[in-house]
Amino acid sequence: MIKHIYKIRVRYSDTDQMRFVYHAKFFEYFEWARTELLRDYGLPYSEIERMGYLIPVLEAFARFKKPAYYDDLLRIETFMKEIPNLKFRLEYEVYRDVDDELVAEGYTEHVFLDAKTYKPVKPPEVFMNFVIENFKSCKNKRC
């Protein structure tokens, strides 16, 4: 398993008329968390694009447990629980950091595309090496 933690502070512009974080914002939070996961593990998305790949979202889901409010510090825990074949899934748990309250949870599913043809391809070797290495070394601080 791969685990990553990313923290964000809710901005005023993230909230709606009810003063909650607008539900669609959580998908942005998921995106920020997954790109930082890749960056922190040494494989920034910009490098993946330079290698000629894209990683679109195929499916996204969120379940909302409690409201999050302006100025809350949120902790997003991102997990990859299975070694991917063609597709891969990342799961997210969003906590209010101050009280450890679960605010939302969800997942996104992805596939690698060849950036020139837009056809699905197997994950590149560098990505698979990154995944396998981190699954094997799950004793590090990120697991």
Indicate which residues carry an active-site annotation. Answer: 16
- Residue 89 is encoded by which pair of tokens? 């899934």
Nearest Cα to Cα of residue 29 among 82, 110, 104:
104
Ordered DSSP codes for 68-110: -BTT-EEEEEEEE-S--SSEEEEEEEEEETTTTEEEEEEEEEE
End-to-end CA distance of the chain: give it in Å, rounded. 7
Q: Which helix (H) or strand (E) holds 9?
A: strand 2-9
